[in-house]
A and B are shown apart, each in its own frame.
Chain A
């Protein structure tokens, strides 16, 4: 079945790089997404990558996609305390509806 897996927790120091990893199962996914959720707030789309790409850079964010291993990562350069949040990886589910299948989320803790 469809499944997205993430590590649950990551702690880094302010100014360091953070790397959040995700594995997914549906090789037919056309887009893969990273969402951010801050306490008490809704989900915010951070970035996405099309399945025919292997890298996408957007300011401090770099997404790497390894389709062979079905592995997605999000790198945040120069991590700030404001980056502390839960990060969700998501892929499109089966069928032609655009529904998203989310991982369980990685809590990023940034220490000053």
Chain B
């Protein structure tokens, strides 16, 4: 595709459930980033992949959050035992390499009831 795509665009779940959010980066981009944007705030960094490996996961808030990128392309952000405070827009971005321009997807709006 032409840009970064994210699915689903909206996800409503109940407290305690498990969710997976998917990101399809721009073809050929080796760097992939996940950010979280709460209402009225700027995006906050969660995790960075260079290829298949998580090069920096310092932004993950706790061990309920995990992300994978097994083949160096598509990435999945996984949230276990969701809490109401996890409600936010989860943004994915990709770039040709680290420190290059990041292209953002439209985001997945997660609502935890």
Contacts and interface: CB of A to CB of B under 8 A. Distances in A.
Interface residues on B, range: 20 to 34
A96 B33 CA distance: 14
Nearest to A105: B42
Contacts, number: 63
Interface residues of A, number: 24
Interface in A66-97: 88, 90, 92-93, 95-97
Interface stretch (B14-22, B66-74, B80-88, B102-110): B102-110
B42 A4 contact: yes
A104 B40 contact: yes
A43 B101 CA distance: 12
Interface string B31-51: 101010000111111001010
